[in-house]
């Protein structure tokens, strides 16, 4: 990192992640958003925070435990960062539960969607709950009394548990005072009560309420003094020494179960929990009061994500839409290879369908002329038509090579299962390069045509995951360009074989050339600006953290380059600082779809260079992952990427948040200007015209 810029010129990563979750939570506050979608945003914040504690906070605590005093680019130590993270996380979670209790829950109730609390159950409801408890809950519970023979049980990461205070003697005359009841994961956390019993269209009972109401049935003859729900979050980083293990898959399979029992990093308890139980739990999990989060409501709001799917109220959800299909692919049974031979094809998800990607690989699997298929797999899900097509291709005798990233966080188990199934049918399965996650999104088909082999490639910014392709914004490019196909083939060769990396024609690749090329492109704009020419950089990504890249952007700003950054999540760069970054603007778009596209635009003296990538501008993407960044060469498609992926987001005055030099975000306020919402406009432009799209 250049010494020219001091630590105070960089913002903290962890605090930036909390700031991002504040923006997500603001969606739950927005009354213009359909009510059940607001509930989803509330749940998304909880899900995000779970991973934040499991990975980022766990990492900070591990650094402190090991005595590390190193500082990050922002100059703060792990101890300093953790203190601020705890303060801000407590504030954020407090606000989240206030919103749940005083806004979301009453609004749902007004629409006939009620969470029925046990203090308000009538006789019929009590009888229904009692029957449900004895029929569905009690048979699978194993209450554990705490005494010298029954120590504190192992508590799974993020599981629902209850600490029970008791009085009296049990059947053996033991004077037990405390017990733990663990809620098995097979039990639903939110149970729908029949309308004729609930008295409303959609009545729900929390599992915690059912257990609270009947916990005394688990301790016959004893008096229950209190029952308190709690949840512990654990360190979920996997510790697999890739340099030492002989078989990464076997080692990972041995390590995965331990993820559920890593060191505790956060304790959530009900706000009515007794001081005695609080002290017991903190001691058991070796946590401090600063790691304790008292909540007024369910300790796991993520579970409420199921509610919208259980409620048939289209008026309380985002309008449904049918993803569009490019005109060249609309003909039923269109020959994908013929279409791609004629010209490159660009897909913009979720506005345009992911189905052509599935069609492409399914056609390849069944086409006698196809001799080989190669694909990278990072996240694809437990149920994937793409993976089934690869298996079918291998069964038909085609050469199938799949680079499976076993260390894709929280998708390790699904990827191991796919690797097993692929190997069973004779596919070549490789796990990439030791020390580097394979994060590139590449799919290549080799086809024999007129006695010669021809290659077809799909490159993308997002995962080969049909479900997230309906939720995340991403671009995918089909091409038969010989130079790009040769580059893709070279990257596959690196992943499966051995040898030196060769220079590529068009692709920028991590860990070899991506960082260097990004810096070169930024520095080229800087040079043009110093020569008095107009210079402009627009970059869209999930995160901007790498110090040398930020330093280069500061230098570009000082030279007069206009820099527009669209960064969904964490941005360590400070925009708008006089003499440093006054020509840099940073904004974040938070809307119906998760912004996931990585686009890099450089004006380059009217060359208008456009690149799409699997990589953010982070240390890990530049130096510790296999990534690809690919140009859009077709002029019409290049214009589409600029218009659909960049310009429309810079004009957004509805879902945009502008960042100041302190890392604070302000929602773009509408004045007299007409409302411009990038995601709604793209739905109108690209989704199927047969469906009316409402904003």
Q: Which is more confident, 416 or 442?
A: 442
Rounded alpha-carbon distances, angstroms, from residue 460 to 354, 376, 604 = 11, 11, 24
The count of other CB atoms within 10 Å of the CB of residue 253 is 15
The beta strands (E) that lie in 235-321 are given as: 264-270, 292-295
The token duo for 593 is 């779809």
**pLDDT of the residue at 250:** 52
pLDDT over 50 (residue 198) = yes
pTM (2 d.p.): 0.91
Instruction: Report CA-CA distances (Å) from 122 to 205, 280, 307.
Output: 13, 35, 23
Q: Which residue has the tokens 């030099």?
A: 661
pLDDT tens by residue, 343-397: 999 999 999 999 999 999 999 999 999 999 999 988 777 778 988 999 999 999 9
> Burial level of 568, CB count in 10 A (0-12/13-18/19+)?
buried
Can you tell me which residue has the tokens 């060469």?
633
Instruction: Specify the residue for token string 């196909």.
Output: 485
CA distances from 235 to 8, 19, 57, 127, 420 (A): 30, 22, 8, 41, 27
What is the tens place of the pLDDT at every residue in 671-684?
A: 666 889 999 999 99
Supply angle C-alpha 595, 599, 600, rounded to 5: 145
Q: How far apart are CA 14 and CA 27, in angstroms?
A: 21
Helix ranges restricted to H, 502-632: 514-530, 547-559, 619-623
Residue 258 scores a pLDDT above 90: no
Least confident interval from 17-21, 130-134, 322-326, 668-672: 668-672
E strand segments, 235-328: 264-270, 292-295
Mean pLDDT over the full length of the chain = 90
Instruction: Inform me whether the pLDDT recorded for 298 exceeds 50.
Output: yes
Q: How far is CA 305 from CA 203, 281, 339, 386, 581, in A?
A: 15, 28, 40, 27, 41
246 pLDDT more than 50: no
240 pLDDT exceeds 70? no
Residue 453: strand pairing partners: 448
148 versus 7: the higher-pLDDT residue is: 7
What's residue 520's pLDDT?
A: 98
Give DSSP secondary structure letters for 276-314.
HHHHHHHHHTT--GGGEEEESS-S-GGGGGGHHHH---G
How many CB atoms neighbour CB 267 within 10 A?
22
Model pLDDT, residue 692? 46
Q: How far, in Å, CA of 422 to CA of 416, rounded?
A: 10
**Which candidate in 439, 465, 515, 596 is catalytic?**
439
pLDDT at 173: 59
Residue with tokens 């499966």: 496
**Bridge-partner residues for 478, per DSSP?**
345, 458
Specify whether 296 is catalytic. no
- What does the alpha-carbon distance between residue 318 and residue 679 come to, in Å, rounded to a whole number? 12
pLDDT for the residue numbered 332: 80
Q: Which two tokens stand for residue 312?
A: 């048939």
Separation CA 64–CA 84 (nearest Å): 14
Q: Which of 59-68, 113-122, 507-516 has the lowest mean pLDDT?
A: 59-68
% residues pLDDT > 90 (the chain): 75
C-alpha to C-alpha distance for 210 and 213, rounded to whole angstroms: 5
For the segment 287-309, the average pLDDT, to the nearest whole number, is 95
Once rounded to an integer, what is the mean pLDDT over residues 26-35? Answer: 96
Strands (E), 426-465: 428-430, 437-438, 442-449, 452-460
102-132 pLDDT, tens digit per residue, is 999 999 999 999 999 999 999 999 999 999 9
Domains of the chain: 7-316 (3.30.1840.10), 327-503 (3.30.870.10), 509-686 (3.30.870.10)
Q: 430-464 burial, b for 16+ CB within 10 Å, e for fewer?
A: ebbbeebbbbbbbbbbbbeeeeeebbbbbbbbbbb
Cα separation, 12 vs 552, whole angstroms: 19
Chain segment 143-194, per-residue pLDDT in tens = 988 875 567 888 889 999 999 999 876 655 566 789 999 999 889 999 999 9
Closest alpha carbon to 230 in 150, 156, 159: 159
Does the structure show a pLDDT above 50 at 2?
A: no
Q: What share of the chain has pLDDT > 70, as a percent?
A: 91
Across the range 247-261, mean pLDDT stands at 49
CB–CB of 461/481 below 8 Å?
no
Model confidence band, residue 627 (pLDDT cutoffs 50, 70, 90): very high
């Amino acid at each position: 990192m250049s010494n020219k810029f001091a630590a105070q010129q960089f913002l903290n990563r962890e605090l930036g992640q909390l700031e991002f979750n504040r923006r997500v939570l603001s969606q739950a506050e927005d009354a213009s958003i359909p009510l059940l979608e607001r509930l989803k945003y509330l749940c998304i914040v909880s899900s995000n925070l779970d991973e934040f504690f499991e990975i980022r906070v766990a990492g900070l605590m591990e650094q402190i435990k090991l005595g590390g005093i190193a500082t990050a680019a922002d100059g703060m130590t792990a101890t300093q960062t953790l203190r601020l993270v705890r303060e801000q996380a407590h504030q954020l979670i407090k606000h989240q539960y206030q919103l749940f209790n005083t806004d979301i829950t009453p609004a749902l109730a007004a629409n006939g969607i009620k969470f029925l609390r046990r203090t308000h159950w009538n006789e019929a409801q009590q009888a229904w709950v009692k029957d449900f408890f004895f029929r569905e809950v009690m048979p699978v519970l194993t209450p554990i009394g705490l005494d010298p023979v029954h120590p504190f049980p192992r508590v799974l990461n993020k599981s629902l548990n209850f600490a029970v205070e008791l009085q009296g003697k049990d059947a053996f005359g033991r004077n037990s005072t405390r017990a733990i009841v663990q809620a098995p994961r097979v039990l639903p956390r939110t149970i729908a009560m029949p309308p004729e019993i609930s008295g409303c269209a959609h009545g729900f009972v929390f599992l915690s309420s059912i257990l609270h109401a009947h916990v005394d049935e688990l301790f016959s003859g004893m008096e229950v003094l209190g029952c308190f729900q709690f949840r512990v979050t654990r360190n979920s980083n996997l510790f697999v020494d890739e340099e030492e293990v002989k078989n990464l898959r076997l080692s990972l399979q041995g390590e995965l179960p331990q993820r559920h029992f890593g060191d505790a990093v956060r304790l959530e308890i009900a706000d009515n929990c007794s001081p005695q139980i609080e002290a017991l739990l903190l001691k058991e999990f070796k946590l401090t009061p600063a790691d304790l989060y008292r909540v007024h409501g369910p300790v796991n709001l993520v579970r409420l994500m199921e509610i919208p799917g259980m409620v048939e109220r289209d008026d309380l959800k985002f309008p449904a839409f049918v993803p569009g299909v490019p005109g060249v692919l609309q003909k039923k049974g269109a020959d994908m290879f013929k279409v791609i031979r004629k010209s490159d094809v660009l897909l913009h998800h979720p506005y345009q369908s992911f189905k052509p990607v599935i069609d492409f690989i399914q056609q390849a699997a069944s086409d006698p002329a196809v001799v080989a298929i190669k694909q990278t797999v990072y996240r694809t899900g437990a149920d994937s038509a793409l993976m089934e097509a690869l298996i079918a291709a291998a069964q038909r005798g085609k050469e199938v090579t799949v680079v499976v990233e076993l260390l894709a966080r929280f998708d390790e188990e699904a990827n191991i299962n796919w690797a097993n199934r692929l190997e069973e049918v004779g596919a070549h399965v490789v796990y990439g390069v030791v020390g580097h996650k394979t994060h590139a999104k590449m799919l290549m088909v080799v086809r024999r045509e007129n006695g010669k082999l021809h290659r077809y490639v799909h490159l993308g910014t997002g995962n080969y995951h049909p479900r997230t392709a309906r939720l995340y914004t991403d671009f995918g490019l089909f091409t038969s360009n010989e130079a790009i196909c040769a580059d893709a083939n070279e990257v596959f060769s690196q992943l499966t074989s051995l040898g030196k990396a060769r220079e590529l024609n068009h692709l920028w690749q991590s860990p070899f050339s991506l960082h260097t090329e990004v810096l070169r492109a930024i520095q080229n704009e800087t040079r043009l600006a110093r020569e008095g020419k107009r210079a402009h950089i627009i970059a869209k990504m999930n995160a901007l953290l790498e110090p040398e890249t930020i330093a280069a952007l500061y230098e570009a700003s000082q030279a007069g380059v206009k820099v527009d950054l669209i960064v969904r999540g964490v941005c360590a760069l400070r925009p708008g600082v006089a003499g440093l970054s006054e020509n840099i603007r940073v904004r974040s778009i938070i809307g119906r779809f998760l912004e996931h596209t990585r686009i890099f635009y450089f004006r380059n003296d009217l060359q208008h260079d456009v690149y799409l990538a699997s990589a953010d501008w982070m240390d890990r993407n530049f130096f510790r992952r296999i990534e690809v960044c690919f140009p859009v060469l077709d002029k019409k498609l290049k214009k589409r990427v600029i218009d659909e992926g960049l310009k429309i987001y810079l004009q957004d005055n509805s879902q945009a948040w502008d960042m100041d030099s302190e890392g604070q975000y302000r929602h773009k306020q509408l004045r007299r200007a007409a409302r411009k919402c990038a995601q709604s406009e793209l739905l109108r432009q690209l989704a199927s015209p047969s469906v009316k799209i409402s904003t």
